[in-house]
Amino acid sequence: MEDKRIGIYQMLAEMLENQEMSQEEERKVRELFEERENRRAEIRIAYDLLNLLQKEVRGKAVPDRALGNQYGAGMCNGFGVSLYQARLEAGITQQQLEDVTGINQADISRIERGISNPSLATIQRLADGLGMGLSIDFV
- Alpha-helical segments (H) within the chain: 2-17, 23-58, 73-90, 94-101, 105-112, 120-129
Measured CA to CA, the distance from residue 68 to residue 107 in angstroms comes to: 13
Does pLDDT of 84 surpass 80?
yes
Average pLDDT of the chain, as a whole number? 77
Q: How far apart are CA 126 and CA 109, in angstroms?
A: 12
pLDDT at 139: 62
62 pLDDT more than 60: no
Cα separation, 2 vs 21, in Å, equals: 23
Second-level CATH architecture of 2-129? Orthogonal Bundle (1.10)
Among 18-27, 67-76, 99-108, 130-139, the range of highest mean pLDDT: 99-108
CA 13 – CA 5 distance, rounded (Å): 12
Apex 54 CA angle, 128 and 118, nearest 5: 45
pTM equals: 0.47
